[in-house]
A and B are shown apart, each in its own frame.
Chain A
């Protein structure tokens, strides 16, 4: 394979970039321009790069993807099946473009509660002082061509700012819908929480039809002192699509980040989640579920970085792999010298449903402090015969027993999602997939 050609593909992806409207904010134009420079300088990663050892993204370069130039307005009925049945605050993006007609009435929300939920491109000039310290400040694009591309195309996206002491009861649903093949979208989210605030964010990637497209997403989250954030991320893209996502979270003193990420879709997907416990007594829960089959590949890389003392992190990541699919989990826990009294627990559990299914799991601990408690482990296996026997001894058939155990394996993660209707949707998907596979 010709590497130069692949990099050309990425540079050609920059073509639409110059048509972005120039911002009145110099810093934003500079941010984009430096990202453009990085795209031109960086090479597309190959399996020779340690970070991409298990995931060959060369198939992505065989297609030509462009940002959507005409964005259709889909039938509400086609879209509304993705809505939460609970009251929620919703932002909808079609092929990367903000669609106000399908989104909640946001100005009333801001007027009544002070909570800012907005399209990023209109929110940036309005709230520039609050945004500037954070936008592009957490997800590094210096070494990552995908994050660099996303930043180069930074325009529409989700902006959520939760003011001091605000407790947002309704979940904020960020719904990214792809409707066309051959398009690349650059979803971008910035979530800023002020001290003592609380909010639930649901980042959701869906497709209206099967098709080959690219979602290249970046999310940045910052938690102020004693803020609390639930972050649910569900990637249910088309099974022909490519999904590359990066998320970086920064936690201030005594803040709490609880997240569940679920990877169901895409032909090839990659999700990088970096959680920095930047100050003392922060808590992070980083759970995940990968449920794939056929020829799918889903690669999750997480890094939980304990920089200061008395932090707690818990991570349970599960993969259920069927067909010829391949799952990758790489989870690094870093405990820096100042992070004394860190308490960290990490577990990677993997279930292979077929002989051709494969998982590569790589839990890693890097500890530079001496008074810490860190536990980690990984298991890879098929269903436990003792468990199957237990259920069969109660009269369940072999198939029923196996389906129930597979379902249970996934449901343990799904049960941790604090939105009831989403739990139901996902449990149904797990049920269908386990019965199909």
Chain B
């Protein structure tokens, strides 16, 4: 939701980034304030997932120009773990499987690492167990999740729920959710979307990176940005997503190229 007096969380200015010397982001400008939900849409290869990874600090991308400030700090100077500790969370499109590490062990480790960062005491396994089970109930996650290895053999839907569970534990200021809706059936989509809605509040913000409009039936965005060839070519409200759904990405790309005279 848009609030008049809200704090600016993220300020991206003229951001350009390369991977293997190929320019993927070609000048991104984006401002996200607390309380807001932004959707970034675009075709495959438009650069939207790259933007998500660059914001989280993936090493494969080289920033060639531009700035990114998060809560007034230069985000580009921070290692991925420090960005996470400052409150940036990336929900992965393809969450990594870690056979050999039990999910509860992993969740407790990341939760306690964050607590220590914020000067709080660690939770012992029993305390954590109560805490995590409560969060899991809200996300309608099967309790046997805890005893399995991290994401190993999880269905697409289970992996995405596990991402949202991690988000719930870490309570980020800025959640960037990369194609969280991909691979979900209708029921799983509803549960995951409800989970995200429960976690959004006046003090945090969410960026949904998505190809399809259907997630936005469940999570209403305040802003919709359309990316094409490494740029945001159009920004609007939720109606823009519906127009895209009706007319396809070609329509807007053609219009944009007409404006540019190319």
Q: Which residues does A use to contact B, with CB under 8 Å? A: 384-387, 389-398, 400-401, 404-405, 407-412, 414-415
Contact = CB atoms under 8 A, between A and B. Distances in A.
Of residues B56, B83, B100, B117, which shows the largest number of chain A Cβ atoms within 10 Å of its Cβ? B100
A408 B90 CA distance: 22
Given A393-B81, A395-B85, 12 more contacts: A387-B96, A389-B58, A392-B79, A392-B84, A393-B92, A395-B84, A395-B117, A396-B110, A398-B81, A400-B109, A400-B113, A411-B101
Interface string B74-104: 0000011101110001101001101111000
B100 A407 contact: yes
B100 A415 contact: yes
Contacts of B84: 392-395
B100 A409 contact: yes
B99 A394 contact: no
Contact of A411 (B59, B90, B100): B100
Given A400-B113, A404-B109, A393 B98 contact: no
Given A393-B84, A396-B109, A408 B92 contact: no
A24 B18 CA distance: 81
A410 B109 CA distance: 18
Interface in B42-97: 56-60, 79-81, 83-85, 89-90, 92, 95-96
A408 B99 contact: yes
B99 A412 contact: yes
A409 to B, nearest CB: 7
B210 interface: no
A407 B101 contact: yes
A387 B89 CA distance: 16
Interface in B119-161: 149
Nearest to B56: A393
B28 interface: no
Interface residues of B, number: 29
Nearest to B110: A394
A393 B90 contact: yes
Contacts of B106: 404
Contacts of B109: 396, 400, 404
Which residue, A385, A389, A397, A415, has most C-beta atoms of chain B within 10 A? A389
24 contacts: A387-B98, A390-B92, A390-B95, A391-B96, A392-B79, A392-B80, A393-B80, A393-B83, A393-B90, A394-B84, A394-B110, A394-B113, A394-B166, A395-B110, A398-B79, A404-B101, A404-B106, A407-B101, A408-B100, A409-B100, A411-B100, A411-B101, A412-B149, A414-B100
Contacts of A396: 81, 109-110, 113
Nearest to B60: A385
Contacts of A390: 92, 95-96
A93 to B, nearest CB: 32
Residue among A386, A387, A392, A409 with most chain B CB within 10 A: A392
Contacts of B96: 384, 386-387, 390-391
A397 B95 contact: no
Q: Which of B59, B81, B89, B170 has the most CB of A within 10 A?
A: B81
Contacts of B56: 389, 393
A416 to B, nearest CB: 10
B114 interface: yes
Contacts of A415: 100
B101 to A, nearest CB: 4
Nearest to A415: B100
A385 B60 CA distance: 9
Contacts of B101: 404, 407-408, 411
Contacts of A414: 100
Contacts of A398: 79, 81
Contacts of A395: 81, 84-85, 110, 113-114, 117, 170
Nearest to A409: B100
B242 to A, nearest CB: 32
Contacts of A407: 100-101
A146 to B, nearest CB: 33
B81 A397 contact: yes
Contacts of A386: 96
Nearest to A387: B96
Query: Which 8 residue pairs spanning A and B have beta carbons closest together?
Result: A411-B100, A408-B100, A412-B100, A395-B84, A392-B80, A390-B96, A394-B110, A408-B101
Contacts of A404: 98, 101, 106, 109
A170 to B, nearest CB: 26
B122 to A, nearest CB: 13
A287 B92 CA distance: 32
Contacts of B166: 394
A389 B100 contact: no
Contacts of A409: 100
Contacts of B170: 394-395
A287 to B, nearest CB: 13
Contacts of B100: 407-412, 414-415
Nearest to B101: A408
A390 B90 CA distance: 9
A409 B166 CA distance: 22
Contacts of A401: 81
A213 B36 CA distance: 69
Contacts of A394: 84, 110, 113, 166, 170
Nearest to B84: A395
Contacts of A392: 57, 79-81, 84
A391 B109 CA distance: 10
B17 to A, nearest CB: 15
